[in-house]
Structure formats: C-alpha cells, structure tokens
Structure 1
Amino acid sequence: MISRRSFVLSSAVLAAPAIARAATEPFTLLLDWFVNPDHAPLFAAKTCGAFARAGLAVTMTAPTDPDVPPRLVGAGKADACLSYQPQLYQFVDKGLPVKRVATLINQPLDTLTALGESGIKTIADLKGRKIGYSVEGFETVLIGTMLKSAGLTLGDVTLVNVNFNLVTALQAKEVDAVIGTYRTYEDIQLAQDGLAPVIFAPEDYGVPRSDELIVLANDKSVGGDKMRRFVAALGEGVAALKSDPRAMLAGFLKDNPSLNDKLDLASWGALVPGCFAPEPGALDAAKYRRYRDFMHANGLIARALPLDDYAVATKA
C-alpha cells in the first residue's frame, strides 16, 4: 500500500435519492484510505442517483488498516476495494485472487518533491542529498530509476525512511526531497504554505505511466452482473462530474463537511478537470503490460503473468 497522508477514519453510507427507484442489493466497497477528493466519482454516482438506478445500495468504508481491504476482497468478505496499479501485481504475485475491474484515476499522481529553498532544480541536483521515502522496495526502485536518467545511482544519495511523514520531514529539513507526495494534494499544500515545491513527475524520468487509483474485485465476481452495474454507475458519476461539477461538489461536501477547507477544495479542483477515467471499465492493456514488465525487471514481482491474471475490462 502506497499512501502519503496521515490516516483519519471516515466512512459514508450511500443512500439512494428519494426520486430514484429503491436500491435492493447491497454492495460493499472498501476504500484505500480516508475519504478525500480522489473518491469524487463515487460520491457523484451517489449524488446523481446512478447507484440507485443500478439497483445497488453501496456502502463505502475507510479501513483502519489500509493493507487489509485487498485481503478481505480476496477472501470474499467485500465486493470490491480501491487500490493502486503497482500493488496489484504484488497481490497477484503472492497468490491473492483479485483483479482490476475498473479505474478511478487513470494517470499517476505521485511526485518526487523538493522545496524551492533547497536549490534543487534538476534530478542531477539530488547528488549528495537526502531523499525521504515511505515504502521499502517499490519507492527505492522509483528513486533509482529517476536518478538513472541523470546518470546517478542510489549510491549518490542518502535514503531516509520517513514513515509517511513526507511533508513534515521536508518542512523540518530532515531530508532534501521526498518521494510519494501527490501533485493533487501534498504538493498543493506545500504551495499554499508558501514553500515553492519543486516537483518531478516519475513518468518524465523513466518510470512507466500507471493508473493511480483502481477498483479490485475477487476473481469469482469480476464478470458478474452486480459488478457490471457498479462499474456502469461509476461511469455515470464521472459524467456527472463533468456536466454538473458544482452540484457534485455540493453533494460531496454534504456527505463530508469536514473536507470543506482550502486544501481539499483545491485538490478537488485539480482532480475534476481530467484525472478521472471517463470510461472506468475500459482497460489500457499496453499500460498494464508495460508496468508489469517494469515491476518484473526491477525484481518487485517474481513472475510476469499474462494480462488476464491481473486485469479485465468491464463492460456495462
């Protein structure tokens, strides 16, 4: 699990609007983390009545332990969960019976970030500096790949595990840069605090592009009617975000009033214009194969399995 934020437990039960037909079938979705603007299509699908029209009573629950949701889905204890494309390969590599069935955010959001006052302007400027990270193995591979683009290696920097305290470590000058900030969240926070973040996108420095936020389901349910209805409703939520963003934001804030703040509103504004997959069930096979090969080549997974073992397209 790659996460960049302090955990705050939050959950929301999605009740259908009175104008829609009664939802009759429960659907349990475990979130990747606490409720935040990354989840906008889910709340939009509720607000516009898409879940109710699909005949689903959707319950979203934030985990107390973000590593647990994929295991619960693999054990058949929940209908689906949110996760990340890089972790998908590791789950399957370990024998967890899950597959990607849909995408919420179809582009990477991770960044390697330094502060303007650090004097770091290029990847080459990281030589001799301290870089903070949170996830052993995966993030160190990302750092190494990015350094390679400037002719550097991991031996040219000092790695410091900051245990997800990315912004705090930067502000306290414990490190000169961190990997794992979101360009739609922490990087905005740093800019709002007047710290002039210098942002490096991994995909510009040798790391393949990936989907940031995806929906995983148990192997046995990926082709079922219930899952197709859920994914179709999710697509309606994305369309509603595009056609009536003000109403969808109002619905989101009604369910999550604590997020009506400067940072979360700015994050929402950065995400809504184009970060959400317009067709959540569509699968970019080439993207998933490229990232599988990247993971395998860097020793992050033991096997490079056929695409169907990791992900499927879900048609309405």
Structure 2
Amino acid sequence: MKFDRRSFLAAAATSLAAPAAFAQSAAPKEKFTVILDWFVNPDHAPLFAARYSGAFDRAGLDVVLVPPTDPDLPPRLLAAGKADAALSYQTQLYLLVDQGLPLRRTGTLIDKPLNTLTALGRSGITKLADLKGRKIGYSVAGVEEALIGTMLRHAGLGLSDVTLVNVNFELVTALMSNEVDAVIGTYRTYEDIQLAQAGLRPVIFLPEDYGVPPSDELILLSNTSGLANPALPKFLAALKQGANYLAQHPDEMLARFLKDNPNLNDKLDIASWKALPGSFAQDPAHLDAARYTTYRDFMVREKLIKTSLPLEDYAVQIKV
C-alpha cells in the first residue's frame, strides 16, 4: 500500500478528462480552468458532482481541472495568469498576500478544518505534554511551526521542548518508520484513516482544541485581475448546485467518481469520501468574515505576516 499523497500525482494527472457525455455539446462553452491543490482525491467531490450533475453544463462552462506537478505551484501559476482559479488553503492565503501575490479568496470548498497533529499508539503519547523531548515532523515551514507552538503552549510546553523535522510531505512514511514521534499536517479524513486501516492506532490532536483558530481547509483563489470575470459567479453557482447534489446523492456521485478515477477505487479513498460529508461548504461563495479576520490576527501575533491588512485584501464575497 502507498501511504503518501505525493505518490499519487502521476496517476492523477491522467484522470481528469471530462467524460464523453460532458465533452460534447451542441453549444460552445466558456472554458474555465481550475488548478487543484493536489492530486485528484475525495476532497474535490463537489467539483466532480457539479460536472456529473450537469451544473457546469447548464452554466455554459467547460471546467477544466488540472492537478499540479508540485503542491506549491497552484497559487503562483494563478498569480501568473495561467488559470482562472486555483485551490489552496486559508492558512496559506495570508502568506501569499503578504508576499505581494495578487490573489483573493473567492470561494470555499471545505469550510471545516481537517488538519491534525497525529502520533501512533505505540509511541506511548496520549496527551500533548507527552511530546516533550520528542520529534515532530512537518511539511510547511512557518504556519505549521506556529500551529505546533500554539498547541504546545496549551500543554505548558514550547518549541524548545521538541525537535522539529521537515519531512517534506512524507508525513505518514516518517511516522511509520519512527523517523519522528508525531506529525502535523495529516488530515482527519485521509492520512489518519490510512493509519487506522493499517492497524497503527493513530492518536489524534485537533489544533482547534488547543488554541488555534478554526479555518476553512480548502478554498478557491482568484487573481485580482479576474474578480470581474463573468464566468466566476457562474462557476460558484454551479459549484453550489454540485455540493447540494452531492449531499443528496453521495453513493451515485461516488460511483461516477470511481469510474472516472479507477486508481482511487480502494478502501482508503472510499473511506475518505464517506468521512467528508458535513465538511463541504454548501454555499461556496459565502464568506465568514469573522473567521478570516480572526485568523489574520493569529498570523500577525505569530509574526508570520508583517501587516494586518483589511479583510478585502485577503477575501471577497462574489455576488452569485
């Protein structure tokens, strides 16, 4: 069994062609390109449901989903004008804007935090205080270090009490091989399920239970130059229809998804699909302003961004 997300990229790159029934249409459609955050996986279910239910067709859109060759690329490709939208994370949004990239959050795919700090049962770790003197693996410098530090403070510890190890997205491999004692960046709907299915008894700590403000896990970014693109509200409206159809017909949508992505027809991805309902935004255009300003203030306190910009410099609500 393969345990790391990166290993799926090559296979996923060939899985995105629209089914023939959707590729053919009597009327020309407007192309709308979305760069995914990672390889195709159940997190993207509303996008596929919007395709399968005909919502994109009814909106007159030819939506092209593109998996990146590197998960760091989507926002930068969007900033360079290579797509109409890209998927990313609220936790990264502030860093991107702070770096001067012309990006705004214009939609939300998953409006619940999925991130976890995870250890294995065999480690003897049962509470955060048990991490003292241990190694913690991470993938994204800056934000994840701040998350670990915030969580540790709630247990009376600090970053000096642990050793941080950059495992470069190989979170599960590093954990299983005992390279580290815990990792941050696993998803409660994916890697934590992998570990449980392997009989490794994951011990899961939720950042929002230890002082980290909740955030939208997966968001839609647009280039500032594309905020007035008339296809954007059409896309968001169709995505809402897809999310609603998915909620009503999860098994039908799963069958279509697995037919188009046979490389994902396995116990893990099916379990992940079934764990995700309730996490998808039912109104992707809706902006929770308080959530975005609260997380901005957290980023400022942690000295991850230099300036506390107004909300509209990070996120906007598109009228649909």
Both structures adopt the same fold (TM-score exceeding 0.5): yes
Match of 1:159 among 159, 164, 176: 164
2:5 counterpart letter in structure 1: R
Structure 1 partner of 2:134: 129
Structure 2 partner of 1:97: 102
Give the Å deviation of 1:112.
0.4
Structure 1 partner of 2:182: 177
Structure 1 partner of 2:279: 275
Match of 1:293 among 283, 290, 297: 297
* Unaligned residue ranges in structure 1 (runs of 5+): none
1:302 counterpart letter in structure 2: K
Give the Å deviation of 1:90.
0.9
1:313 counterpart letter in structure 2: Q
Give the Å deviation of 1:138.
1.5
Pair 1:23–1:50, CA change in 2 (3 A): farther
Instruction: Please give the alpha-carbon distance, in whole angstroms, between the structure 2 residues aligned to 1:177 and 1:306.
Output: 36
Two-structure CA RMSD over aligned residues (Å) = 1.6
Instruction: Please give the alpha-carbon distance, in whole angstroms, between the structure 2 residues aligned to 1:57 and 1:70.
Output: 21
Deviation larger for 14-23 or 217-226: 14-23
Query: 1:156-213: per-residue Cα shift (whole Å, max 9, x none)?
Result: 1111222211111111112111111110000000000000000000010010000000
2:36 counterpart letter in structure 1: L
1:248 counterpart letter in structure 2: M
Give the Å deviation of 1:33.
0.7
**Matching of residue 200 in structure 1 with residue 205 in structure 2:** yes
Give the Å deviation of 1:19.
9.9
Give the Å deviation of 1:253.
1.1
C-alpha contact 1:23 1:54 (8 A) present in aligned 2: no
Structure 2 partner of 1:310: 314
1:275 counterpart letter in structure 2: S
1:264 counterpart letter in structure 2: D
Give the Å deviation of 1:75.
2.1
Give the Å deviation of 1:65.
2.2
1:59 counterpart letter in structure 2: V
Give the Å deviation of 1:155.
1.0
C-alpha contact 1:127 1:156 (8 A) present in aligned 2: yes
C-alpha contact 1:293 1:304 (8 A) present in aligned 2: yes
Structure 2 partner of 1:6: 6
Instruction: Please give the alpha-carbon distance, in whole angstroms, between the structure 2 residues aligned to 1:76 and 1:201.
Output: 36
Query: 1:94-141: per-residue Cα shift (whole Å, max 9, x none)?
Result: 111111110000011110001111111111111111111112222111
Give the Å deviation of 1:308.
0.4
* Structure 1 runs, 4 residues or longer, greater than 6 Å off: 18-21
Instruction: Please give the alpha-carbon distance, in whole angstroms, between the structure 1 residues aligned to 2:116 and 2:311.
Output: 27
Instruction: Please give the alpha-carbon distance, in whole angstroms, between the structure 2 residues aligned to 1:22 and 1:181.
Output: 43
Give the Å deviation of 1:14.
3.2
2:112 aligned counterpart, secondary structure: coil
**Matching of residue 68 in structure 1 with residue 58 in structure 2:** no
C-alpha contact 1:124 1:150 (8 A) present in aligned 2: yes
C-alpha contact 1:30 1:62 (8 A) present in aligned 2: yes
C-alpha contact 1:23 1:53 (8 A) present in aligned 2: no
Give the Å deviation of 1:22.
3.6
Match of 1:24 among 29, 43, 46: 29
C-alpha contact 1:223 1:314 (8 A) present in aligned 2: no
1:13 aligned counterpart, secondary structure: coil
2:208 aligned counterpart, secondary structure: helix
C-alpha contact 1:45 1:236 (8 A) present in aligned 2: yes
**Matching of residue 212 in structure 1 with residue 200 in structure 2:** no
Instruction: Please give the alpha-carbon distance, in whole angstroms, between the structure 2 residues aligned to 1:213 and 1:81.
Output: 10
C-alpha contact 1:115 1:196 (8 A) present in aligned 2: yes
2:252 aligned counterpart, secondary structure: helix
Q: TM-score, normalised by structure 2?
A: 0.94
C-alpha contact 1:21 1:55 (8 A) present in aligned 2: no
2:66 counterpart letter in structure 1: T
C-alpha contact 1:14 1:60 (8 A) present in aligned 2: no
Q: TM-score, normalised by structure 1?
A: 0.95
Give the Å deviation of 1:20.
7.5
Instruction: Please give the alpha-carbon distance, in whole angstroms, between the structure 2 residues aligned to 1:163 and 1:18.
Output: 37
Give the Å deviation of 1:5.
2.2
Instruction: Please give the alpha-carbon distance, in whole angstroms, between the structure 1 residues aligned to 2:123 and 2:26.
Output: 57
Instruction: Please give the alpha-carbon distance, in whole angstroms, between the structure 2 residues aligned to 1:199 and 1:21.
Output: 51
Aligned length: 312
Pair 1:39–1:86, CA change in 2 (3 A): same
Structure 1 partner of 2:266: 261
Instruction: Please give the alpha-carbon distance, in whole angstroms, between the structure 2 residues aligned to 1:22 and 1:152.
Output: 62
| Aligned ranges 1:109-148 → 2 under 5 Å | 109-148=114-153
